[in-house]
Structure 1
Amino acid sequence: MTFEETGIKPELLSAISEMGFVQPTPIQEKTIPHLIHNSNDLIALAQTGTGKTAAFGLPILHNCDVKKKEVQALILCPTRELCLQISRDLDAFSKNLAGSKNIAVYGGADIGKQMRELRAGGQVVVGTPGRVYDLIRRKVLNVSQIRWMVLDEADEMLNMGFKEELDNILAETPAVKQTLLFSATMPKEIAQMATKYLNMPEEIAVGRKNEGAANVEHHYYVVHAKDKYLALKRVADNYPNCYAIVFCRTRMETRDVAEKLMADGYNADALHGDLSQAQRDYVMSRFRSGQLQMLVATDVAARGLDVNSLSHVINYSLPDDPEAYIHRSGRTGRAGKSGISVSIVHMRETGKLKQIERVSSKKFERKDVPAGEEICKVQLMHLVDRVADVEVNDSNIDPYMPEIMEKFAGLSGEEILKRFVSTEFNRFLAYYKNAPDLNVKGKEKKAYEKRGNIAFSRLFINAGKKQNLNAARLLGLINEHAKRKNIEIGKIDIQRKFSFFEIDSRYEKDLISSMGKSDLDGHQLQVDRVTGEERVSRPKIKSPKRNQADGRRGAKRKRSKR
């Protein structure tokens, strides 16, 4: 299919042609004709970087009445950066549409200016939930007559805690409108939102639900926790031309890693929530233009970052939520290009990889952290390639050649080459001389450890705090489904959407089979054995009997967390 065959207006066709759009992406090919000719609600599932903005933006611009100045379409997205990106794209698409006006409203910017723009009128408003609801309450933004409502990256808006704002905004919109929900993943919360706010929606999906991007390789390195930063430097040195986002868990970790990289001479900077809008814009502008090679960021800060040529995504810390990994890895391998998603993990994080593999339907390939000798060779060949490919300006260099030749008199061509290369290369040779092996040796450790006379297995369960699971409820589930009471229980680790626990390995298979056929408040449970976990000395704890008093059960819970 061509864009002409989608049916959009000539004014839009001419604009996207100038932008270099030749053929619709799969999500655009399925969505644009549908939205032009149909008014029913829609759920569209596609990964980041697949052209979702044009998929909903072009048909909305096609159908908008440019003669009317009131708001006809409201597009909600999770972050300022994504809001600005969508607004810029809509401006570019509609530049040949006389009378078309798009307005961006988001926090961290002058609300007075945004209010003046709204009062002047425009057909499409793009905004973040907090600022949009603020403007609605101020009676400046009127959404009572909109014809289209777009929830872009709806899963991320829920993850960022915007449910209340979304509910309040949607309550202000008319009952009869076309609602479009775009998301990279389809968690239970999105399905509930669709049931609540969409009217018999059609579903369009590119790839399977919650599946990672097809043209991204997934690599991981296993190191000790203390060696993660050293491993990060080796990964960066092993890919001299990498253009990457390095994802960290917290703002503090982001600052720490970025400061270390910059101090060690890497072309890097940090992007996190403590920066002012002006600072964020400056850092992102440098990264987009290629002045920065590595951007160290948190998940929230990187949302909406419009970069299509990332070679790598580096997970310095794995996210707790497997779906967040899908968003991260989707930052590379965009616009038909290939990319690599790298995870640097320590032994106790290998269980998370298994869950991410299951959710994303991708296989992770374990790689060895490159040795110093290997990196030196890569860097030397990179330097040689740069020298071989450099463009020589004879007219500028020729006047200096006699003096240069005099300096090198008595040296052979081979000796000159060696000295020239050494001026750039010596620091790598010095740094990686006698560099230690950072890889965790041998095969991944067994999924059980022996304490006293009991071998413990470490198990994974696909429920956590989000499903109201705590240590007491987990102990109750184990007690309910175990064939034998008083099974020895080890460490319990409750996370957001999944958890780990240790049990006497003799009862592992029976418990996995029994619990895997049950549910927790309607949530279907999955229990699996975890491989590759590090052995840690933990106290033994017995599962409480079903008729034990709450006080004793509480005491057991406290002991299990020591």
Structure 2
Amino acid sequence: MGYESPMPVQEEVIPFLLGEDNDVIALAQTGTGKTAAFGLPILQKIDVHIYQPQALILCPTRELCLQIADDLNDYSKYIDNLKVLPVYGGSSIESQIKMLKRGVHVVVATPGRLLDLMNRKTVDLSNIKNVILDEADEMLNMGFTDSINAILAEVPASRNMLLFSATMPQGIASITKKYMNNPKEIVIGRKNEGNKNIKHVYYMVHARDKYLALKRIADFYPNIYGIIFCRTRKETQEIADKLIQDGYNADSLHGELSQAQRDYVMQKFRVKNIQLLVATDVAARGLDVDDLTHVINYGLPDEVESYTHRSGRTGRAGKTGISIAICHIKEKGKIREIERILNKKFEKGEIPSGHAICEKQLFNLVDQIEKVKVDEEEIASLMPSIFRKLEWLDKEDIIKRVVSMEFNRMIDYYKDADEIQVVDERSSRSERGERGERGERGSRRGHEAEEGFARFFLNFGKADGLFPNQLIELVNKCVPGKVRIGKIDLRDNFSFFEVEEGESKRVMDSMNGFEIEGRRISVEPAQAQKGGGGDRKGRGGSSFKGKRDGRDFGGGDRKGRSSDKPWRRSSSERDARKKRFNR
């Protein structure tokens, strides 16, 4: 199988599992050789003449369950009659019950399905000698604590127990205290530290440019083979659909897919028919795919542990990998937090220019031409005709035409593409005005627009569930092309925002033609009061008049509420508006 010498986690763990009454907590990153570390000693201790489960391996996902079972079958190739059974939801429970009745030696299971089998009295755990909890922190994060407790309560107290985890959350301490006897703690690297073979890079871009940045990164690495992590199922599907439409070998993996669909996507990804797999955290947990070159975070996760698991998909088994984060300015703090916890320094990346991408793609094509395998016998009969057809072209012309034939699409795309604007990390003002009301500081407490910008009134506010990022998204959806947004000032029932003066008419004309759930958007120039500014708290100060569903309304009262009483909504009404806006 290509194993030549044990990896550090294998050197540490295998001797303990070969012994008796040795409980182990192993802190090691994904991809460090954990499956062999527990798989080889477990198989060594199996008595194949006893057709009862002697080893139990619990893992968080069906994908990891299948991967471990496949690896154990490979390791036991020369052990006659040894039976390994993967037990997981999404497949026929009847067929799993039949296999258990015939007799198996090793059960690899997700907690939910194993508990179901235990409740049906179809699995006997009384002869278990070894219990392994693989990716224990992930199982706790996914809410399997009660299931794990119920399962471990049915396992003999005399068994060996091994707990693998990439991080050490509090929930693991309660399991170790209750079910493990003086466990030895083995730490490969530092606690919570990321894989040393992974390079961490972040790109700081405007929120509107994240997909364009993703495309440029993918184009800059022609042989990329990686996973793109998104926050939600909807975002996952949208990004995958966009990539497919733009000609990339991509597909999505998320919880709304059936088991058959997930298996099909994963099979295509494993054989590299898919270069880019767009996935949610839940769907990608436990994926064991070799040779990933990149992991791309389409925005950083909320938990540092999630970033550790994401980045751990690459740089496996001693190989190198790159973990990329595409961030906007508000995520800068998360980067610093991850750096501190992982003891890793992120490298700030520069979005590749169109020229640099074309150059990289060109040399990749030339490299492929150099290395292409030529079957002389198969093409020998065709070559004389081809030579005659092309004899009027010299070598340089042929090379130019071959390159252009393969390369024109890329050149056409990037020759007219605007460069992605660099975000100044020193000021959040550059993130398209995502400063909200906090941006109204110091000498700019008044309501005059910044130089070069026009200030507009919008008939939606906080009570409608509007936040700065949603206002920006609203402008993006309504106005074609790029619009630079300045300050944003949100009030309860209305808002102000600024755009470049040259775009003011286009923004106003475009936005006034839209509706949100039957309510028309009203965007009008906001005229500053003579004598200027608001009071010390930034209230009042602008004179405007607009219409909302045919009714006039004016400025705010002392608490910033609309003076038109029919528009003072109840809290339940405001909550409903928020949900609609968020949806």
Q: What's the TM-score once normalised by structure 2's chain length?
A: 0.73
Q: Residue 222 of structure 2 contacts residue 364 of structure 2 at CA under 8 Å; is this kept in 1?
A: yes
User: In the alignment, is the contact (CA less than 8 A) between 1:83 and 1:128 conserved in 2?
Assistant: yes
Larger Rg: 1 or 2? 2
- Any conservation in 2 of the 1:70–1:122 contact (CA below 8 Å)? yes
1:225 aligns with 2:207: yes
Give 1:369 deviation, angstroms.
0.8
| Distance of 1:97 and 1:392 partners within structure 2 | 42
> Structure 1's 94 and 400: CA in aligned 2 closer, same or farther, altered over 3 A?
closer
1:409, distance to aligned residue in structure 2 (A):
4.1
Is the contact made by 1:369 and 1:439 (CA closer than 8 Å) also made in structure 2?
A: no
Q: Match of 1:203?
A: 185
C-alpha displacement of 1:20: 2.0
Aligned to 2:277: 295
Q: Does 1:172 align with 2:154?
A: yes
Task: Note if contact 1:69-1:121 (Cα within 8 Å) is conserved in structure 2.
Answer: yes
**Per-residue CA shift, 1:194-248, capped at 9, x if unaligned?**
2232222110110111111001000111111111111111101000011111111
Which deviates more, 298-307 or 22-31? 298-307
The corresponding residue for 1:280 is 262
Q: How does 1:368-517 map to 2 (within 5 A)?
A: 368-445=350-427, 451-453=440-442
Q: Distance in 1 between matches of 2:147 and 2:211?
A: 39
What SS is found at the alignment partner of 1:399? Answer: coil
1:152 is aligned, of 134, 137, 143, to: 134
1:30 is matched with: 12
1:107 is aligned, of 84, 89, 106, to 89
Partner of 2:28: 46
Q: Secondary structure at the match of 2:153?
A: helix
Amino acid at match of 2:297: N
Worse-matched range after superposition: 298-307 or 365-374: 298-307
Distance 2:336 2:318 in 1: 27
User: Are the equivalent residues in 1 in contact too, given 2:330–2:428 (CA < 8 A)?
Assistant: no
Which stretch shifts more, 255-264 or 129-138?
Answer: 255-264
Q: Distance in 1 between matches of 2:423 and 2:39?
A: 52
Q: CA offsets, 1:17-51, max 9 Å, x none?
A: xx222111100000001221242211011111111
Which of 322, 335, 340 aligns to 2:317? It is 335
The corresponding residue for 1:10 is: none
Partner of residue 162, structure 1: 144
Given that 1:49 and 1:334 are in contact with CA atoms closer than 8 Å, whether structure 2 keeps it comes out as yes
CA distance in 2, matches of 1:24, 1:538: 60
Q: In 2, Cα distance between the equivalents of 1:442 and 1:114?
A: 57
Q: Gaps (5+ residues) in structure 2?
A: 430-434, 446-466, 470-485, 492-535, 538-570
* Alpha-carbon distance in 2 for matches of 1:453, 1:292: 53
Please say which of residues 267-276 and 433-442 is displaced more in the overlay.
Answer: 433-442
Deviations 1:398-453 (A, max 9, x none): 43334333433443321222122111111111100132221424443279965344
**What percent of counterpart residues are identical?**
55
**Structure 1 length normalisation: TM-score?**
0.76
Letter in 2 for 1:70: Q
- Report how many aligned residue pairs link the two structures: 455
Q: Distance in 2 between matches of 1:152 and 1:535?
A: 49
Corresponding residue to 1:242 among 220, 224, 241 = 224
- Structure 1: distance between partners of 2:75 and 2:333: 45
- Separation in 1 of the partners of 2:389 and 2:50? 75
Q: Is the 8 A contact 1:323 1:359 kept in 2?
A: no
Partner of 2:347: 365
The separation in 1 between residues aligned to 2:443 and 2:41, in whole angstroms, is: 64
1: distance between equivalents of 2:47 and 2:398?
70
| C-alpha distance in structure 1 between counterparts of 2:322 and 2:226, whole Å | 10
Q: Distance in 1 between matches of 2:428 and 2:82?
A: 63
Give 3-state SS (helix, strand or coil) of 2:251's partner. strand
**Structure 1 partner of 2:108:** 126
1:317 aligns to 2:299 (yes or no): yes
Structure 1 residues 274 and 134: CA distance shift in structure 2, 3 A: same
Identify if the C-alpha distance between structure 1 residues 68 and 287 changes in structure 2 by more than 3 Å, giving closer, same or farther.
Answer: same
Deviation at 1:298, TM superposition (A): 1.2
Instruction: Read off the aligned partner of 1:208 and give its amino acid letter.
Output: R
> What residue identity is the alignment partner of 2:405?
T
Q: Distance in 1 between matches of 2:321 and 2:134?
A: 24
Kept in 2, the 8 Å contact 1:368–1:439? The answer is: no
CA–CA distance in structure 2, aligned partners of residues 195 and 536 of structure 1: 52
How many angstroms apart in 1 are the aligned matches of 2:140 and 2:444? Answer: 41
Unaligned runs of 5+ in 1: 1-18, 457-490, 494-533, 542-554
Instruction: Answer whether contact 1:219 1:364 (CA < 8 A) is retained.
Output: yes
The answer as to whether partners of 1:231 and 1:369 remain within 8 angstroms in 2 is: yes
1:148, distance to aligned residue in structure 2 (A): 1.7
Q: What is the letter of the counterpart of residue 55 of structure 1? A: A
Alpha-carbon distance in 1 for matches of 2:14, 2:425: 50
